[in-house]
Every structure is written in structure tokens, then in C-alpha cells.
Amino acid sequence: MADLALGQAKQQGRSTFCLYGGEWREERDHRIQLEHGLLRAINRNELYLVYQPKLDTATMSVVGVEALVRWQHPHLGELGPGSFVPLAEKGGLIWPLTEWVLKEACRQAAQWYRNEALDLNVAVNMSPTVFAHEELEQAIEAALHDSGLPPDRLTLEITEQSLMVYEAEAVGVLERLQRMGINVQIDDFGTGYSSLSSLKHYHFQALKIDKSFVSDVVTSSEDAAIATTIMFMSKCLDMEAIAEGVENEAQKDFLASIDCRLMQGFYFARPMLPSEMSRFISRLTPAKPGE
Ligand code: C2E
Ligand code: MG
Ligand code: MG
Ligand code: MG
């Protein structure tokens, strides 16, 4: 999949990559093209969601799925969020994008339940710029109402950045979301600035241990210490911890040894289309005796 950084699309076949003169203009034009395209994409269903399971590795069951947005661009092919979410954040399109993702993720989770008897909690990523948006709670209520999804089947993944940007409003918003029954997890935990103070003010359902700590957890004593500390802290605070970016068995084994049961990563499953989920889950579940 093309997860283009800004301007990378123009890089092909060029030996140099400089940020001035014609190249810069081209990059700006490329950005404008993407910005214009994004509005069209939202309205014309060029966006779609893939879902990555979060597993309880002690039982090998799926405890939820994370919705990750993709863009099937008419000319550039499939784009990952790295190439357009930051643009949407800067260009004022992140709100319509988020509304669309919320709606679609809730619709899909409700459909899984209705059509395939899959009862899955679905997580949606929130950019800092939309967290505490004045219409956030309304948009969530509408997405739940329209789909019929119960609020406790929805999770919001927010970053520590979100809590910093809207420090004053954040606690109130979080409390209201919690009262609605919605789960809130801290994404990329440990990479932001406000980690510890945010934990003091609000009870999150889970902390997601950032994949930058997981990738070298087996070989780096620092990363191992950080992962172990986050585990310990989450336990003391009565929150769950989910390790993200688990890619191999050694990482999984280390995490299990520090009592981290909840994991997400390519080792278990790559993000997949909704139609693939049922098969993935049925393969995980050991057949019951007599079946
Ligand atoms: P994130 O929320 O931390 O999501 C995890 C990212 O790590 C996903 O990349 C996922 O595909 C990738 N990943 C999962 N397991 C592994 C693994 O084992 N190894 C490695 N190397 N990577 C793994 P993706 O889909 O490209 O998303 C990147 C980021 O874009 C997300 O990070 C999230 O911050 C943002 N994003 C994705 N969808 C949305 C969305 O709908 N709205 C907003 N605002 N942001 C989104
Ligand atoms: Mg996330
Ligand atoms: Mg994450
Ligand atoms: Mg991350």
C-alpha cells in the first residue's frame, strides 16, 4: 500500500529531492490536489475502513477492533492515513473525515452483529483537533443512534496531545463520554507529553503501549523497562494496557511475561476488510468438542 509522505508521489524517477523552486511548487500543488480530492472522497465514498483486531492472548479471543481509514484515490491508488490525515488536520477537513469514520465504523459494527453474530467493540481514532470539537458528542450520538450500536461497543482512541490541546474542556468531555458508556483509550501512550498528569485527572479504560516501545522490547533493556513500567502503572490505576505493533513471537512472549495479555499487531493480524473478519475469528477459536 502506498503510504505516501507529502510529495513522495513525485519522487519516483528523480535522483534528488529538494524542497525549493519547482519541486516545492510541485509539492504544494500535490498537496492542494489531495486537499480538493479529499472533500470529494468523503462525499463520494472513496474512503473506506479496514479493521485490525485487538486480542486477549491468554484466551486467543478478539476483544475489539480498531478502524483505520484508507483512501482509494482515483489516480494515486490506495493511500494510507499518513498521507492525508495530517493534511485533513491542517486543511479543515478533519471534522467531516472524523464524522464519516465514526458513522461508518458504528454502521459496520452493528452490521457484523446483525448479519454475522459478531459482537465486536470498534475503536475510532480521534485527531487532537477534533477531540473536544463542539459537535463531537452530537456526532457520536447520531452515529450510535443511526446504527443502533450500543455505546459500550464504541471506543475512542485519543492521544495525549488531545488532552493538552483542550486541557480545560477535555476532562468534561471525557466524563460525559464515559457517562454515555463509551470507552476511551490513550493511543501511542508514552510518546506524548502529558502522560502522567492526564492519568491523574481521568480514568481511561486502557493505555495503548506505543509500538516504538514494543518493536525493540526484546533487545533493548530501556524499552523493556518502559513497557514493564506502563504495565505496572496501568494495573495500579486499574486500567488495561494494550501493546500495539506486536510483530513476532519473541515480542509476544516478552509481553506475556510481564503480564500484558492484550495485544495488537501484524503478528496476529493485519488490518483487514470487514468481510474477512468472520473467517479470521473462526480460525482463532478452537473448535468445541463434538463440533
Ligand atoms: P495508530 O492509531 O497508532 O494505529 C496503528 C497503526 O500501526 C496503523 O497504521 C496500523 O496499521 C499499524 N500497525 C498495526 N500493527 C502493526 C505492526 O505490527 N507493525 C507495524 N509496523 N505497524 C502496525 P495506519 O493504518 O497506517 O495508521 C496510522 C495512523 O493514522 C494511526 O496510528 C492513527 O493515528 C492514524 N489514523 C488511522 N485512521 C484514522 C482515522 O480514521 N482518523 C484519524 N484521525 N486518524 C487515523
Ligand atoms: Mg489508534
Ligand atoms: Mg496507536
Ligand atoms: Mg501509533
- The pLDDT confidence band at residue 78, using thresholds 50, 70 and 90, is very high
Pair 239, 209: CB distance under 8 Å: no
Judged against a pLDDT cut of 60, whether residue 6 lies above it is answered with no
Q: What's the rounded Cα separation, in Å, for the pair 237 and 200?
A: 9
**Average pLDDT for 185-189:** 94
Which chain residues have CB less than 5 Å from ligand 2, an ion? Answer: 125, 157, 187
Q: Is 247's C-beta closer than 6 angstroms to any atom of ligand 1? A: yes
DSSP for 213-253, please give it: HHTTTTT-HHHHHHHHHHHHHHHHTT-EEEEE---SHHHHH
> Three-state SS for 74?
coil
Instruction: Find how far residue 120's CA is from the centre of its chain.
Output: 15
As for the ipTM of the complex, it is: 0.98
> What is the distance in A from the centroid of ligand 3 to the CA of 287?
32
- The Å distance, Cα 230 to ligand 3 centre, comes to 15
Query: How do residues 203-234 score in pLDDT, each as one tens digit?
Result: 899 999 999 999 999 999 999 999 999 999 99
Question: What number of residues does the chain have?
Answer: 291
Q: Is the CB of 185 under 6 A from ligand 1?
A: no
The pLDDT assigned to 9 comes to: 39
Which pLDDT belongs to residue 16? 43
285: confidence class by pLDDT, cuts 50, 70, 90: low
Ligand 1 contact via 80 beta carbon (within 6 Å): yes
What cell numbers appear for 213 in the block?
A: 516501545
Residue whose CA lies nearest to ligand 1 atom number 2? 125
C-alpha cell at 18: 529538494
